[in-house]
A and B are shown apart, each in its own frame.
Chain A
Amino acid sequence: MEKAARGLLYTAKPLTEEEHRAVEEKFAAVTGREVSLTECQCEELLGGIRVELLGRVYDGSVQAQLRHVLAVLQDKEDRHA
Chain B
Amino acid sequence: MEGLFNPLSILLHTLNALILFVALYFLLYKPVKQFLDRRNAEVAKTMQDADETLARSQAEYAKALEKNRGAQDEVQQILKTGAQQANDRAQAILNDARAQADEILARARKEAEDILANAREAMADETAALSVEIAGKVLGREISLSEHRRMIDDFLKKVG
- Give me the interface of A with B, judged by CB distance under 8 Å: 11-13, 15, 19, 22-23, 26-27, 29-30, 43, 46-49, 58, 60, 62-63, 66-67, 69-70, 73-74, 77-78, 81
B132–A48 CB distance below 8 A: no
- Give me the interface of B with A, judged by CB distance under 8 Å: 117, 120-121, 124-125, 128-129, 131-132, 135-136, 139-140, 143, 145, 147-149, 151-152, 154-156, 158-160
- Centre residue among A13, A47, A69, A74 by max chain B CB count within 10 A: A47
Tell me the total A-B contact number using a CB cutoff of 8 A: 76
B152–A70 CB distance below 8 A: no
Residue from B129, B131, B139 in contact with A62 in the complex, judged by beta carbons closer than 8 Å: B139
- Centre residue among B117, B140, B156 by max chain A CB count within 10 A: B156
Q: Complex formed: what's the CA distance from A70 to B126 in Å? A: 10
Enumerate chain B residues within 8 angstroms of A69, measured Cβ to Cβ: 132, 135
Enumerate chain A residues within 8 angstroms of B151, measured Cβ to Cβ: 47-49, 60, 62
Q: Complex formed: what's the CA distance from A18 to B140 in Å? A: 24
